Structure formats: structure tokens, C-alpha cells
Amino acid sequence: MLAVVLLFAAPAAAQAVHNGVGSCAGSTCHGRSAGDGAVVRQNELVVWQDYTSAAGAHSKAWRSLQTPWAQKIADRLGMGEAARAPACLGCHTDNAVRRGPTFQVSDGVGCESCHGGSEGWLASHYTVGASRADNRARGMRALEDPRVLASTCLDCHFGSDKPGQFVSHRMMAAGHPRMSFELDLFNSYQNHARKRSVSGVTSWAVGQAMALERSLTLFASSKGSEGVFPEFYFFDCHSCHRAISDEANPPVRFGTNPGRPIVWGAPPYNDENMILLNAAARVAAPELADRFAADSKAFHQAMGGDRAGMLSAASRLNATTRQLGNRFAGRGFGDKDTVAILRLVLGDALTVRYTDYSGGAQAVMAVDTLLTAAVNQGAVSSGAAGGMRRDIEAAYAAVRDPNAYRPGDFRAALGRVRSALERAT
Ligand code: HEC
Ligand code: HEC
Ligand code: HEC
Ligand code: HEC
């Protein structure tokens, strides 16, 4: 009964007052210099502040808007001062609706951006006997739920329909870097939780499903078009940004892709998450795998028809994707599952689909994440995994410069990882 009362008394997380990073920073709170706290490390602040490493990127997110790079983007788009532009602040700060007196925009993506506004729990969460359930009921966000976790990061690392949380193609054309995200890998870079509740294959698989869900939902919304054109953000960048040749019998520079039947010459929808979800579904939700593959193909095909047909194909694919995400979130992944998914990601049926830079980048992040999980689960020795590192780095190198993506080198590097995996398992 008490929990129910608290639940209704708690301000909705989005509307709870955010008190700012300073309110978490006490030396007896999260501001210790050594991570030796009894319950949590307590040096989360120091880790978050170390902007020289990926773990501290969020603390410099607002300062990044003060750079000449950011200002150039804002100037081109006629947005005035970048560090005050609503279209940028949604992701480069904790864009809280309600702010306490100690809140500072200059803190960038502060603690409450992810953990939720602390109005309801700041005073109680460290008291003796406070439980996780109390904290959640008072509005602290449940990041141990893989869907909540994925959704929190995707708001800024893919985009959302909330104010100021979308990097359009226009922003990219003005100079914003491309977005690339893999939940488990990026969460491991953050490196401030003593023990992450969701990690490894579950967060990887749920992250893939929720990213596709987010993409399809936004594409079907008003974010999906820009004037008379579809919003280019959702498509493979290099399908348009490619050299043209006028010679007789010109070479075709795009690779055809059996998982992605489209009208010849049309820009293909970015399918990085679809490709990898295929592998996850085959192993962890086989009864949905054929439907997922068919729905993905139908969606790509529908892109050559009218908008109504595309919307209904998107909605079917989205429903299947949601089911996949729910299955993955409610399921443990054992060492055999991990190795089976890894084999599929490295196998011929999928590698022919890494025709674009972004699919390649997503695939090598998957290999990295899944191999780490396989080592942690004891399926692959760390020595054997270490031996694969060189080829994984070669695969990363083949996707590093998007203008020089070399699918052949990329596949060859993954092929060598696959052979090593066969010897190691
Ligand atoms: C949907 C969220 C989102 C929005 C909106 C957004 N950004 Fe970003 N921005 C990011 C993310 C995420 C990165 C990091 C990309 C990466 O490296 O993976 C980034 C990176 C950058 C960088 C490079 C920082 C560095 O040092 O590497 C600049 C500059 C930048 N953004 C400026 C802007 C400006 C200016 C605007 C508004 C016109 C804007 N951003 C809007 C999410 C966003
Ligand atoms: C409120 C927006 C926001 C949220 C929520 C968010 N991020 Fe970020 N993240 C950013 C921005 C903006 C950057 C780029 C900052 C910069 O370089 O200036 C970034 C950068 C990063 C980086 C560094 C990337 C690199 O290439 O160095 C990692 C890792 C990261 N985020 C992980 C996560 C994870 C994991 C989550 C979810 C638990 C998450 N982020 C949630 C906005 C956000
Ligand atoms: C970009 C999102 C993000 C930001 C910003 C962030 N955190 Fe976290 N934090 C997480 C995630 C994700 C976890 C792991 C949660 C889990 O797996 O249960 C975590 C875990 C923690 C934990 C451990 C919780 C536990 O139950 O073990 C503490 C304490 C914490 N964060 C404090 C902070 C503080 C203090 C700040 C600001 C200085 C901060 N975090 C900033 C996302 C974030
Ligand atoms: C459907 C075609 C199409 C797609 C897909 C597309 N773009 Fe563009 N892009 C354009 C057009 C058209 C322009 C304007 C160029 C011009 O005026 O000549 C442009 C301009 C740009 C520019 C400005 C620099 C330049 O080359 O002129 C950048 C950077 C850019 N796009 C990045 C991207 C990124 C990143 C993606 C993928 C997320 C992407 N584009 C996807 C068509 C596309």
C-alpha cells in the first residue's frame, strides 16, 4: 500500500525538479576521489568529469556547443548562438523542464539526465534502509530495466520526438558528426557503475531492437520528412554521397544486398540494426525470425511505392521488432547463445549485407561486445579472444573513414575472426 501511495505522490520523472550535478557532488556522496564506497563507488562525479576519456564525454557536452565547430553549424542554420540554441540543448545538456536553484546548464549531460530529476528522492535515497524500490517509487529512473536504459540513451544517441532531440540531415550537412551507437559498448565506456545490472548480450540485443523501433517510429512521424523529401537522416549516407561517372557502361558503385530489395537507384533505409537483429532473432526468438526477415524485406520494398504503403509496412515491422525487444529483455542469454549469435554475425549469410559503412560499423561493435560476453561467460578463453584482436582492429579500421569503406577488406577481417572463433570453441 505504501508503495502505491508513493508511486502516485512521486512527480513524473520528466517533470520532477532537477537539482543539478552540484547536488550529487558532496565528498560523502558521489564526489569521492577514490571509488571505494561501501554500496556504490562514490567517485561517479570524478569519472563523469574526466572529459579526456569517453567516460567523461557527457560533462563536456555543453562546452562542445561553445566551440567554433558548433558555432559554424549554428551559423549555417541561422540558429544564433549554438550554446543557447534549443535545437542543440536537448542533447548537449540536461534539458530539464523544471530546474532547482542549483541547476546549471553548463554542467552538460548531468546525472539527472539519465537518473531522473531528484526532487522526489534526493533527500531520501542515501538514508539507512532506503531501498531501490523506494527510490524508483520516488522517481529515480529504473536503469536496470534494459528497455528503460536503451530508451534513455537513444533519446540523444539516435533522436526522439521531444524538443531539441533530433539531428536532422540539415544539421549533418551543416557539420554535425554522424551518430553511431551500440548500447552495451557505449554503456561500458561510461564506466561509473560498480556493477551494471544490464550488460552483455541482453543489453546488446535489446539495444538493437529499441534502436530500430525508435528509427521506424520517428520515420513514420512528422520527423520523417523535410519539405517534399523524406528526412535523409534515416537512409544510408553514401547511397547519395557517392562519386558519379559518365563513361560508357559505368561501374555501379553500390553493392546489391539480398536482405534489402529496393528499387534500383533509390536511397536505401539504414538497415544496421535490422541486419544484427536477424542474428539475435534466429538464436533467441526463432519463432519470430522468419517474420522479422520478411517484414524487413517488405518494408524496404514498400519504400518504392506510396507513403501509405510504406507506413503500413513500417508499422508491421515495428510491431515485430517490439516483440523481439520484449523477448530479449525477458530472457537470459547463455554462453551457447552468445557464440551462436557471434557465428551468425560473422557468417556468410549476414556479411554479404554489410554493404554500407553503417552496417559494417554496427557489425564490428557487435563482434566486440559479443566476444567480450563470450569471454565473461567462459565460452572463449581470454587468450583466444586476444588473438582475434588484431583482426577486429582491422575491421574497425575498414569502417573508420566513411569515405573509404572497403567492404572486401572488412569481410576478410571478419572471416579471419570467424576462423579463429571456430578454432577457439
Ligand atoms: C539528438 C541529439 C543531438 C542533438 C539534437 C545535437 N547533438 Fe551534437 N552530438 C550528439 C552526440 C550523441 C554527439 C557525439 C557523437 C558521437 O561521437 O558518437 C554529438 C557531437 C557533437 C559535436 C562534436 C563534439 C566533439 O567534440 O566531438 C558538436 C560540435 C555538436 N554535436 C554540435 C551540435 C550542435 C551545434 C547542435 C545543434 C545544431 C547539436 N549538436 C545537436 C547529439 C546531439
Ligand atoms: C541528454 C542527452 C544524452 C543522453 C541521455 C545520453 N547521452 Fe551519451 N552523449 C551525449 C552527447 C551530446 C555526447 C557527445 C558529447 C561531446 O563530445 O561533447 C555523448 C557522448 C557519449 C559517449 C562518448 C562517445 C565517444 O565517442 O567518445 C558515450 C560512451 C555515451 N555518450 C554513452 C551514453 C550512454 C550509454 C547513455 C545511456 C545510458 C547515454 N550516453 C545517454 C548525450 C547524451
Ligand atoms: C548518460 C547517462 C548517465 C549519466 C549522465 C550518469 N549516470 Fe550514473 N548510471 C548510469 C547507468 C546506465 C548506470 C548503471 C545502472 C545499472 O546498470 O543498474 C549508472 C549507475 C550509477 C550508480 C550505481 C547505481 C547502483 O545501483 O549501483 C551511481 C551511484 C550513479 N550512476 C551515479 C551517478 C552520478 C553521481 C552521476 C553524475 C555525476 C551519474 N551517475 C551520471 C547512467 C548515467
Ligand atoms: C537522399 C540523398 C541523401 C542522403 C541519403 C544523405 N544525403 Fe547528405 N546531402 C544530400 C544533398 C542533396 C545535399 C546537399 C548537397 C548539395 O547541395 O550539393 C547533402 C549534403 C550533405 C553534407 C554537406 C557537405 C556536402 O557534401 O555537400 C553532408 C556533410 C552530408 N550531406 C552528410 C550526410 C550524412 C551524414 C548522411 C547520412 C546520415 C547523408 N548526408 C545522407 C543528399 C543526401
pLDDT for 12 equals: 52
Characterise 80 by phi-psi region: left (phi > 0), alpha (psi -120 to 50), beta (else).
Answer: left
How far apart are the CA of 188 and the centre of ligand 2, in A?
12
The whole-number average pLDDT for the span 298-327 is: 96
Percent of all residues in the chain with a pLDDT value above 70, rounded to a whole number: 97
Q: How far is CA 124 from CA 17, 114, 157, 161, in A?
A: 15, 18, 31, 32
Residue owning the nearest CA to atom 15 of ligand 1 = 179
Per-residue confidence band for 158, with pLDDT thresholds at 50, 70 and 90: very high
Q: Is the CB of 58 under 6 A from ligand 2?
A: yes
Which pLDDT tens digit goes with each residue over 12-53?
A: 545 899 999 999 998 889 998 888 888 888 999 999 999 899
Residue owning the nearest CA to atom 39 of ligand 3 = 111
pLDDT for 5 equals: 42
How far apart are the CA of 58 and the centre of ligand 2, in A?
6
How far apart are the CA of 70 and the centre of ligand 1, in A?
8
Residue owning the nearest CA to atom 27 of ligand 2 = 54
* CA distance between the termini of the chain: 51
d(CA 196, CA 184): 10
> Mean pLDDT for the chain?
92
Residue among 400, 369, 396 at smallest CA distance from 385: 369
The whole-number average pLDDT for the span 313-330 is: 97
d(CA 124, CA 307): 51
Which pLDDT tens digit goes with each residue over 342-387?
A: 999 999 888 889 988 899 999 999 999 999 999 999 999 999 999 9
Q: Is the CB of 155 under 6 A from ligand 2?
A: yes
Statement: residue 152 has pLDDT above 70: yes
The whole-number average pLDDT for the span 245-251 is: 81
The answer for residues whose C-beta is within 8 angstroms of residue 136's C-beta and 6 or more apart is 142
In 142-153, which positions are buried (b, 16+ CB within 10 angstroms) versus exposed (e)?
bbebbbbbbbbb
Per-residue confidence band for 311, with pLDDT thresholds at 50, 70 and 90: very high
Q: Is the CB of 358 under 6 A from ligand 4?
A: no
> Best mutation site among 28, 36, 114, 158 for ligand 3, i.e. most ligand atoms within 8 A of its Cβ?
114
pLDDT for 1 equals: 36
Statement: residue 54 has pLDDT above 80: yes
d(CA 344, CA 208): 15
Residue owning the nearest CA to atom 37 of ligand 2 = 153
403 or 65, which is more confident: 65
pLDDT for 14 equals: 54
- Find the residues whose C-beta lies inside 6 A of ligand 3: 21, 24, 30, 40, 44-45, 48, 58, 109-111, 113-115, 143-144, 149, 187, 192-194, 196-198
pLDDT for 199 equals: 78
Residue among 156, 132, 159 at smallest CA distance from 144: 132
How far apart are the CA of 235 and the centre of ligand 4, in A?
10
pLDDT for 6 equals: 44
